[in-house]
Chain A
Amino acid sequence: SQTIHQWPATLVQPVGSPLSLECTVEGTSNPNLYWYRQAAGRGLQLLFYSVGIGQISSEVPQNLSASRPQDRQFILSSKKLLLSDSGFYLCAWKVYTEAFFGQGTRLTVV
């Protein structure tokens, strides 16, 4: 069966520090992969999506970047975090119609 792993679950980082969040998928090949961010009490904002290795599309200009070095690995990064980068980050994968989400990473930038 397919599973998605996202880590860490929580992260507290100082302003200006780098960020790397990782997401891996098991049990499926060539999935579409997505990074979403959720502000407190709000909906999900799509940040990046990828349809294949090395193929990244950005939905909104921001301080973050994404990479897909392997078919089932999706990484969200920042060189220097801002306070506004705080939020709940969710990774998801999709092959046909429905999306499957990881458990999320709560990032607090202090």
Chain B
Amino acid sequence: SQQGEEDPQALSIQEGENATMNCSYKTSINNLQWYRQNSGRGLVHLILIRSNEREKHSGRLRVTLDTSKKSSSLLITASRAADTASYFCATDRIYNQGGKLIFGQGTELSVKP
């Protein structure tokens, strides 16, 4: 069953604007990860946040985690046309056999030049 749900499903912004994507999940987790997928390609890992962390930064990316609300957000600042892609959150659940990552439905981001 799907663990994560992202919103919005699609987001269209202008270059230079910030993009915020949200993810909600259902069960307790060890960590939550964000991935990026260019059209028709494999996924690339962006950033990981552990369950005992509340915020993490990596370059233009900022991730927050609220375990009480079982939600996370990914902020991309000063977006560029090259940021156009689909973004997925993935959860690594507690007592997880096989280290499985369960992915949400994704947010399709379009950054217009």
Contact = CB atoms under 8 A, between A and B. Distances in A.
Interface class of chain A by DSSP: strand
Interface string A23-50: 0000000001010100001111110011
Interface residues of A, number: 28
B84 to A, nearest CB: 15
Interface residues of B, number: 26
A82 interface: no
B33 interface: yes
A90 B43 contact: yes
Interface string A88-110: 10101010011111111010000
A104 B42 contact: yes
A94 to B, nearest CB: 5
B13 interface: no
Interface stretch (B64-72, B75-83, B103-111): B103-111
